[in-house]
Homo-oligomer: A and B are copies of this chain.
Amino acid sequence: MTTPDATTPSPTSADDAAPHGYIVDKDKYLARLRRIEGQARGIHRMVDEEQYCIDILTQISALTSALEGVALGLLDDHLRHCVVDAAIRGGEEAEIKITEASDAIARLVRS
């Protein structure tokens, strides 16, 4: 997991009309997702070449684990920035952010 950078603007900072700036180490995620795309292409090719089923299943499990790793990293960033900021501001927005996060966690646990 990542260490939060105190200098990273939170998503709702005044100068952040544009994209959500909560992703702490974007290049790392992009590299991991690039690898994940390559894994997906590799699985497509393995099926196309009718490679051995068990080998394909091994690659699918590896891809699923890699996706989970990305999801858990993004969720940690999200809790550490969006949810904490909302908690500090308080009120209904904090409630909404936590409900949203809990729902996302439930989808991850059950998928």
Contacts and interface: CB of A to CB of B under 8 A. Distances in A.
B84 A51 contact: no
B76 A84 contact: no
A19 B47 CA distance: 10
Contact of A110 (B11, B38, B50, B68): B68
Interface residues of A, number: 81
How many of these chains are in the complex? 4
Interface in A76-111: 76-80, 82-84, 87-88, 90, 94-95, 98-102, 104-111
Given A29-B47, A37-B41, A108 B54 contact: no
A57 B108 contact: yes
Interface of A: 1-4, 10-13, 19-23, 26, 29-30, 33-34, 36-44, 46-68, 70-72, 74-80, 82-84, 87-88, 90, 94-95, 98-102, 104-111
